[in-house]
Amino acid sequence: MIEERIADMIQADVDGELPAASRAELDAVLAQSGEARRFRDEMMRVARLMNELPPIDPPPGLTRRILDRIQLPSPEGWHSRVAAWMRPASYGMAVAAGVVIGIGVANFAPRFDADIAADLPGLVGTMVDRSALQAPNAADRMVIDRPGVRGEAVLVPLGDIWSLQFSLNTSNPVEIRVSADPALRFGGLADPESELRIVEVSGGDVRLVHEGRHPFVLYLQTESGRDVGSRDIAVFIGRDGETLFEGRLQTGG
């Protein structure tokens, strides 16, 4: 029969938790006792069998299901329910915008098929990467180059819609405020990475939180057939109450 103290030491050794001070004592016991060696070997075998079993892979799609169900608190206590109900509408707007761009830019023509809605994130990414920075028909654009936030915002007319395309890189979360003239109202958001948090929408004013590096597009809508003339769109970027950037875009005349 193995002494309880020795059995404890053997178990600690099997688990890699034997204190260095006990090593010599255990080695001496093992050298002298066949029973202790057998006990150690059996315990080692049982432990090894369990240790060597590979972990089980969770079912595919579990991460997505988890992420879809979790609501995080939004900064300043604002709830992001607005974003939840706004998103389906914004996808429709994004598809509409994609259609207009698709007609105007030959590169998009092959992608212009029945699967366009399913491929929306890719489309939006393309819209920002290719058209935002090179858009020949941009009404206005601004370069943002401040510590902690760099990138560009481009305003592109798409029929009755104005597409405000952001391509930003921020090191920490920033608040972005877009205030459009009352003739324009917020019509939707295309956010291929689903990382943005809209915290407030009112008419043509939108507040959202952005972090990292990914493109997104805000759509501003005019009443059908109405000429909005030259209208201002103010863009403010800040963090923790501090203004990092302020600028204005114009729809033109």
Partner 1 sequence: MSNNRDHALIKRCLRGDRMALGELVTSYERPVFNVAYRILGNPDDAADITQIVFLRVFERLDQYNPKYKFFSWIYRIAINESINQRNRDRHEQPLEEERVAGGSHPEDALQNAQLSDVIQDGLMTLQEDYRTVVVLRHFSELSYRDIAEVLNIPEKTVKSRLYSARQLMKVQLREQGVVQR
Residue pair 187/219 in contact by the 8 Å Cβ criterion? yes
**Does residue 212 touch partner 1 according to CB under 8 A?**
yes
94 burial class (0-12, 13-18, 19+ CB within 10 angstroms)? buried
**Does residue 74 touch partner 1 according to CB under 8 A?**
yes
Residue 221's contacts (CB-CB under 8 Å, 6 or more residues apart) are: 93, 160, 161, 162, 184, 185, 186, 187
Residue 49's contacts (CB-CB under 8 Å, 6 or more residues apart) are: none
- Per CB under 8 A, which region of 37-45, 90-98, 153-161, 222-230 contacts partner 1? 37-45
Residue 106's contacts (CB-CB under 8 Å, 6 or more residues apart) are: none
Residues between 136 and 195 with contacts to partner 1, criterion CB under 8 A: 173, 194-195
Residues between 99 and 118 with contacts to partner 1, criterion CB under 8 A: none
- Per CB under 8 A, which region of 68-76, 84-92, 124-132, 151-159 contacts partner 1? 68-76
Total interface residues for partner 1 by CB under 8 A = 41
- As beta bridge partners, residue 198 has 208
| Cβ-based nearer residue to partner 1, 58 or 88 | 58
Residues that bind partner 1 (CB under 8 A): 7-8, 11-12, 15, 17, 42-43, 45-47, 49-51, 53-59, 62-63, 65-67, 69-75, 80, 173, 194-195, 197, 209, 211-212
